[in-house]
């Protein structure tokens, strides 16, 4: 089934989130999956189980309580966000496998820039030398996935210092510019989206009998 990639440009977080909910509620077994590529104005988002104590300083950056998993994170200009509107039942993998596939797509994208990155089974996301460069937060409803990932490309990282990123005090955050990559969001998206599609479409491994 053909998957559509939507380029949303710069869009406010909350209307985009509501559009994700509406898309998911309206989809049927025949609805093609979509990837939404977007950049948000400054906003903090707090997951369903998120604790406001992880917001260390109140600023003029709005805080939105959302329905994804995870704690608090920051979105802002210069960060690439991709939302994965995926039929989870049709995919035929578990949640942990889907998270691993998304992480691997980001890791492969960074490898294309000569950056060695890794995931963490205990803390979803992608890291370079212990600093977080990409975050993941998903929601599964009615057998469908929405929300997705954020990859720091070329942004002001200061607002991350006013939170415990993803609920981890003292977690270092980095971005592609600090890692020596001078690329626009569009250029990075042009590499990341095909990697995501390859990862999503990878065949499900069948356990081998002994």
Q: Is 116 annotated as a binding residue?
A: no
Query: Do residues 196 and 35 make contact, with C-beta atoms less than 8 angstroms apart?
Result: yes
Residue 125: Cβ within 10 Å count? 26
Starting at the earlier edge strand, list the strands of the sheet with 72-75: 63-65, 43-46, 72-75
Q: Is 6 annotated as a binding residue?
A: no
* Burial of 163 (C-beta count, 10 Å sphere; 0-12/13-18/19+): buried
> CA 176, CA 51: separation in Å to the nearest integer?
29
Q: Is 184 annotated as a binding residue?
A: no
Q: Is 74 annotated as a binding residue?
A: yes
Strands 4-10 and 34-39: parallel
Whose tokens are 């608090």? That residue is 72
Q: Is 150 annotated as a binding residue?
A: yes
Distance of CA 146 to the CA centre of its chain: 10
Q: Is 125 annotated as a binding residue?
A: no
Q: Left, alpha or beta for 208 (phi > 0: left; psi -120 to 50: alpha)?
A: beta
Eight-class DSSP state of 206: P
Q: Is 72 annotated as a binding residue?
A: yes
Q: Is 75 annotated as a binding residue?
A: yes
Whose tokens are 């995931």? That residue is 119
Annotation says 96 is catalytic:
no
Q: Is 148 annotated as a binding residue?
A: yes
Q: Is 92 annotated as a binding residue?
A: no
Q: Is 69 annotated as a binding residue?
A: yes
Q: Pinpoint the alpha helices (H) of the chain.
A: 13-26, 88-91, 95-111, 185-201
Instruction: Name the catalytic one among 166, 173, 185, 188.
Output: 166
Q: Which residues are annotated as a binding site?
A: 68-75, 135-137, 148-150
Residues designated catalytic: 166
Q: Which residues are annotated as a binding site for substrate?
A: 68-75, 135-137, 148-150
């Amino acid at each position: 089934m053909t998957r559509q990639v939507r380029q949303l440009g710069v869009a406010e977080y909350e209307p985009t989130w509501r559009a994700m909910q509406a898309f998911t509620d309206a989809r049927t077994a025949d609805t093609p999956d979509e990837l939404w590529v977007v950049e948000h104005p400054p906003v903090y988002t707090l997951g369903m189980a998120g604790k406001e104590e992880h917001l260390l300083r109140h600023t003029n950056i709005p805080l939105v309580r959302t329905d994804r998993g995870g704690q608090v994170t920051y979105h802002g200009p210069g960060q690439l966000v991709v939302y994965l509107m995926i039929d989870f039942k049709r995919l035929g993998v578990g949640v942990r496998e889907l998270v691993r596939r998304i992480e691997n797509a980001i890791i492969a994208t960074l490898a294309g820039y000569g950056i060695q990155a890794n995931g963490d089974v205990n803390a979803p996301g992608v890291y370079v030398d212990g600093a977080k460069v990409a975050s993941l937060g998903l929601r599964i409803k009615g057998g469908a996935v929405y929300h997705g990932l954020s990859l720091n490309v070329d942004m002001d990282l200061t607002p991350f210092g006013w939170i415990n990123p993803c609920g981890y005090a003292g977690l270092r955050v980095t971005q592609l510019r600090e890692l020596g990559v001078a690329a626009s969001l569009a250029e990075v998206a042009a590499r990341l989206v095909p990697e995501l599609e390859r990862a999503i479409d990878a065949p499900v491994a069948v356990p081998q009998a002994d």
